[in-house]
Amino acid sequence: MKMTETIRLALVEDDNVIRQSIVSMLNDSDGFECVGDFDTCEKALKSIPDLEVDMVLMDIELPGMSGIDGIRKLKKISPDLDILVVSVHDNNDLVFEALCAGACGYLTKNIELDYLLESIKEVRRGGAPMSTNIARMVVSSFQKNPVTPLTNRETEVLDYLSRGKSYKMIADELFIDKETVRSHIKNIYKKLEVHCKADAIEKALKEKLI
């Protein structure tokens, strides 16, 4: 008889009660093992590469480095690593930033724990699970902007660039750090297939993206 695969997970969550609840749930469920839990991305980045995990459950709003930046860094280190977001936030910008950063699914924290377990299995089968409200948001966004390659946040950054704002000014306006602004701009260049600010602005204006 074939033994069930044990899915090895790491969890990044700053709320101690929620973190311990998820860890206990995973370790008490057949086929799941939480081999590391962390309250910051900085701690997770130091340890996860050595833990041989199959998947990371990632919160978004964390002290220090954001979960979205954490996703980018983890995917750079381990491109094949599955990362499933579990967050209280369900606004459009954060959802799309997380997915563009490399998350393979997005769940809100009001889900039942059994649904979380099923979602983890779905990821391992190659799926991209999302909470119902998140899935509707994604569908709605594609219906409204079927040919727009940029996320709302990337569009905001590009709009500020077109108005002559510096990286620091954009960071201050959007309450993010300069490195996040740089990351957005890098993604903008890649998506628009350009190599400089002037070309990005020209193409965005021509295609009415801003």
pLDDT tens figures, 155-172? 999 999 998 999 999 999
Task: Just give the CATH number of 7-142.
Answer: 3.40.50.2300
At residue 128, the pLDDT reads 87
> Measured on CA atoms in the order 82, 84, 85, 86, is the torsion positive or negative?
negative
Q: Tell me if the pTM is above 0.75.
A: no
Q: Residue ranges of the domains in the chain?
A: 7-142, 152-206
Per-residue confidence band for 66, with pLDDT thresholds at 50, 70 and 90: very high
Cα–Cα distance for residue pair 32/4, rounded to 1 Å: 10
Query: Per-residue pLDDT averaged across 1-6, rounded?
Result: 61
| Average of per-residue pLDDT values in the chain | 89
* Region of residue 83 (phi > 0: left; psi between -120 and 50: alpha; otherwise: beta): beta
At residue 148, the pLDDT reads 65
Instruction: Please check whether residue 98 is in contact with residue 60, taking contact to mean a CB–CB distance below 8 angstroms.
Output: yes
pLDDT tens figures, 105-145? 999 888 888 899 999 999 999 888 988 777 777 766 655 55
At residue 145, the pLDDT reads 55
Per-residue confidence band for 1, with pLDDT thresholds at 50, 70 and 90: very low
CATH entry 3.30.70.120 includes domain 152-206: no
At residue 149, the pLDDT reads 78
Of the ranges 78-82, 95-99, 133-137, the best mean pLDDT one? 78-82
Cα–Cα distance for residue pair 192/109, rounded to 1 Å: 34
